[in-house]
Amino acid sequence: MANHKSALKRIRANNSKRLANRYYAKTMRNALRDIRMVENKSEAQQQLPKVVSLIDKLSKKGIIHKNKAANLKSGLMKKINNL
């Protein structure tokens, strides 16, 4: 266990940030799951900008890597174009 006051504060801050990051990552995964389940092309195209925006925000904050974000968006585009 940490002894310094600043180390204890860092532990608390890291824990709260970890929980927030988990929430945002899980929200993104749920959005990806929902858009992948859609069979109608027009409906999927309506949902696409929201999901892409969410992925970009997480990439910008560093919650997911920028290459992972690019791969996710690319895969979504391919799936929707093949509907």
pLDDT band at 1 (very low <50, low <70, confident <90, very high): confident
The model's pLDDT over 15-74, given as tens digits with 9 standing for 90+, comes to 999 999 999 999 999 999 999 999 999 999 999 999 999 999 999 999 999 999 999 999
Fold of the CATH domain 5-81: Methane Monooxygenase Hydroxylase; Chain G, domain 1 (1.20.58)
- pTM of structure: 0.83
Report the distance separating Cα 51 and Cα 43, nearest Å: 13
CB contact set of 56 (below 8 Å; sequence gap of 6+):
69
